[in-house]
Amino acid sequence: MSEVATRPVVDWSRAASTGAYLARGGPVVSREEAELAVSELRDLTTEAEAHVRELTGLGDGLPLLPGDVVDRPGWVRSAASGLDALTAKALPPNPAGKLAPVLAGSAGVQTGVVLAFLASRVLGQYDPFGGPDQRGRLLLVAPNVVTAQQALRVPGRDFRMWVCLHESTHRLQFTSVDWLRDYFADEVERLVGGLADDEGVGDLLSRLPDALREVKRAKADGVVAVGQLLRSPEQRAVFDRLLALSTLLEGHADYVMDAVGPSVVPTVETIRARFTDRRKGGGPLDRVLRTLLGVDAKIRQYAQGAAFTRHVVGRVGMAGFNAVWTSPNTLPTRAEIAEPEAWVRRVHP
* 137 three-state secondary structure: strand
Longest dimension (CA), the chain: 62
Q: What is the mean pLDDT of residues 189-196?
A: 72
What is the sign of the dihedral through the CA atoms of 194, 196, 200 and 203? positive
Torsion of CA 165, 171, 176, 182, to 10 degrees: 150
Q: Of all residues in the chain, what percent carry a pLDDT higher than 70?
A: 77
CA 264 to CA 158: how far, in whole Å?
8
Q: Which of 40-44, 179-183, 236-240 has the lowest mean pLDDT?
A: 236-240
**Sequence spans of domains, the chain:** 4-347
**Could you report the per-residue pLDDT of 98-138, keeping only the tens digit for each?**
556 666 778 788 888 889 988 988 999 999 988 777 778 99
Secondary structure class of 340 (helix, strand, coil)? helix
Report the predicted TM-score, pTM, of the whole model to 2 decimal places.
0.84
pLDDT category at 282 given cuts 50, 70, 90 is: low
